[in-house]
Structure 1
Amino acid sequence: MQNRFMKWIVAALVTIVALPAPSWAAGYTQTKYPIVLVHGLFGFDRIGLVEYWYGIPAALRSDGARVYVAQVSATNSTEVRGEQLLSQVKQIIAATGAGKVNLIGHSHGGPTARYVASVRPDLVASVTSVGGVNKGSKVADILIGVAPDGSLSNAVLASITNGLSQFISFLSGGSGLPQNANAANVSLSTAGSLRFNQKHPYGVPTTSCGEGAYQARGVHYFSWSGAKPYTNALDIVDPALALTGLAFGFAKNDGLVSSCSSRLGRVIRDDYSMNHLDEVNQTIGLTNIFETNPVTLYRQQANRLRNLGL
C-alpha cells in the first residue's frame, strides 16, 4: 500500500514537472505608445537596488513594452508635479517619435497624470490611476486639521517632511526638484481635490462612488485599487497603514485612499486585497500571497491597452 502511494506521488511530480511553465504570449505587453510610470507622495525612481515600482518596469518590458519611469517632486502640488511630468512626457515623445504616451500613476501620481492629460490631451493616449487620490484622502484632511497652515505644528511637520523629501530626491538622483509638503497635503485633501477636479474633470465620476467617462478628448481613463490595509505580517509598513486606515471608518480603503476616491474612468476593480504599497509591489514584494500578484495587474493593463490599439 505504501509503495503504491509513493509511486503515485512520484508519478504526480513527474507529470507536474513535464507540464509547460505558464507563459505570456510574445508581445503581450507591447503597447503602441510608451508607458510612463508616475510615482506618488514621497516617491522616487530607484534608490540603490530598490525600485518604487518594484519589479514592474522589467516585467512590462519583458514582453515588448517601452517603459519610462518619471521622476517628479516627492512632495509638491499636483500642478507643480504635473508640469514636471509634462516636460518629461515631451522629452520621451521627442526621443521615441511615438506621438503619445500611456500614463500610469500611483497615489498622487494619479492626479499628476490627469493634469498632463487635461492640459495636453494630444500627448496622452491613456491615463491609468492606481490607488489614485482622485477625490481626496481623509488622512490628508486629518493632517490639515491637526497642523493647520500657519501653526507651529505645521511648521515643524513641514520642515521634517520637506527635509525627508529632499533626502529621497537626492538618493534617487532627482536633487534640485522643489519640495513643498504643505502644497502636497492641500492637493491631496478633499477640498483641494475638489478644486482640482473643477479645473480638470476628465474621467472623474460625477457620483460619489461611480465610474467616470471611459474616454474624454481622445484619452482613455482606467483605475484600480486595493481595499485591505493590512495584508502581510512580514511587512513592517502594514501596521502603519492599518492605523491610518481607521480614518475611513467602515468605508473600503487601502490604508491611505478610500476605494470610492480611487475611482476614475473605467474601474477595473476597487477591492483587491491589497494596501496602498501593495499596489506598487512594495515593500520589496511583501504583498498578499492570497491575492493576484500586483505585477500581473500591470501586465494585464498593458495588454488591455495593446488590445485597444494604445
Structure 2
Amino acid sequence: MAGFDSLFGIYQYFYAIPADLEDDGAEVYVTQVPQFNATEARGEALLAQVEEILAVSGAEKVNLIGHSHGGLDVRYVASVAPELVASVTTVGSPHGGAELADMLRDGLSEGGFGEAVLSFFADSLGDVLALISGSWGTEQDSVAALEALTYENSVEFSAAHPAGVPEDWCGQGDFVVDGIRYYSWSGDRALTNAFDVSDPLLGLTNLVYDEDNDGLVGECSSHLGKVIRDDYRLNHLDEVNQAFGLVHLFGPNPKSLFRAHANRLKNEGL
C-alpha cells in the first residue's frame, strides 16, 4: 500500500536493495501496482508486468517478492498463473489481516462523510505517488485497499487463494504448492532508530495490536509457507531498508536478508 518503484527516479521503495542484489549477479525487476486498490486489481496489474518481464527476459518463470500489501499481490499472481511463478516470498505481509485496518474500517460508516474524506485524501496521495514515480493513470481506490487488509477479507482472500496459508494461527503453511515454493519473514519491533522519522508513527500504530508486531503487521499474521523468521529487529519500513537505511543498530541489515534469500532461491535451483 502506497508503494512505488522509485520517487523522481532517485529514492527507491526497496531502498538500495535491487542494486545490492544485482551486484551479486541477480536479475532484478521492480514492479509497480496501484498504490491504493483491492488486492485483485493490484494483482492483475502485477500479472501484466510479470508477463512482460518474461517476454523481455526470455525466462520461463519469476521469483516474486512482495512487501506488506504486495505480499498479497504476489500470492494472487501465483494463484491465477502458477505456470509463471517459481517462488513466492512475502515480507511483513498481513495474510491474517491487520488490526489497524479493522479499527479504521469499523470507525468509518459505509458511504459516510468520514469514508469520503479518507477516500479523497488517500486517493489523492496515491495519484501523487503515481505521478512522481512515473506510473500516472493507475486507478486508486483506498477504501477497497483498506477493506482488503481487514481480517474478514483476508479470510475470504485466503479461501480463494489458499497456497502457503497456515491451517493453524501462527503456524507454518505448505512449503511447496503446485511446484511453487512459499517463504515469509517479518520484524517484531515498531521503534528501532531514533533518527528515523517514521518510527514515531509506527510506535503509535503499534498500540493497536495485541501481538508482537512491526508497527503495522502482527507476527503471526505475517506467516506464509516456510517462515524464515518473524522476530527480526525490524519495523515495517525497516524490512525494505527505509528510511535511508536507518535501522536497528543491533538488528540485521535488510540488504543482507534479501541477498541471503536470493542465494537460498539459487541453491534451490530457482
User: Which bin holds the TM-score, normalised by the shorter protein?
Assistant: over 0.9
Matches within 5 A, 1:195-210: 195-210=156-171
Matches within 5 A, 1:223-302: 223-249=184-210, 251-302=211-262
Using the alignment, how far apart are the partners of 1:183 and 1:248 within structure 2? 22
Among candidates 208, 211, 220, match of residue 181 of structure 2: 220
Unaligned runs of 5+ in 1: 1-40
Matched, 1:144 2:109: no
Task: Quote how far apart the aligned CAs of 1:292 are.
Answer: 1.0
Larger Cα-atom Rg: 1
The SS at the match of 1:67 is coil
Q: 2:150 is aligned with what amino acid?
A: S
Task: Quote how far apart the aligned CAs of 1:150 are.
Answer: 1.1
Q: Which residue of 2 aligns with 1:56?
A: 17
Q: Which residue of 1 aligns with 2:74?
A: 113
Q: Which residue of 1 aligns with 2:263?
A: 303
Q: 2:76 is aligned with what amino acid?
A: Y
Using the alignment, how far apart are the partners of 2:229 and 2:164 within structure 1? 15
1:208-257: CA deviation from partner (whole Å, max 9, x where unpaired): 100000010011000000000000000111011011011113x1100000
Matches within 5 A, 1:36-185: 41-48=1-8, 49-185=10-146
Moved more, 143-152 or 74-83: 143-152
The SS at the match of 1:220 is strand
Question: How many residues were matched structurally?
Answer: 269
Using the alignment, how far apart are the partners of 2:3 and 2:116 within structure 1? 22
- Taking only aligned residues, the RMSD between alpha carbons, in angstroms, comes to 0.6
Matched, 1:192 2:148: no
Moved over 3 A (4+): none
Q: Percent identity?
A: 51
Using the alignment, how far apart are the partners of 1:208 and 1:151 within structure 2? 34
Task: Quote how far apart the aligned CAs of 1:148 are.
Answer: 2.9
Task: Quote how far apart the aligned CAs of 1:112 are.
Answer: 0.3
Using the alignment, how far apart are the partners of 1:148 and 1:105 within structure 2? 31
1:267-294: CA deviation from partner (whole Å, max 9, x where unpaired): 0000001100000000111111211101
1:105-143: CA deviation from partner (whole Å, max 9, x where unpaired): 000000100000000110000000000111110010011
Using the alignment, how far apart are the partners of 1:176 and 1:149 within structure 2? 26
Q: 1:135 is aligned with what amino acid?
A: G
Task: Quote how far apart the aligned CAs of 1:151 are.
Answer: 1.3
Q: Which residue of 2 aligns with 1:27?
A: none
The SS at the match of 2:20 is helix
Q: 1:197 is aligned with what amino acid?
A: S
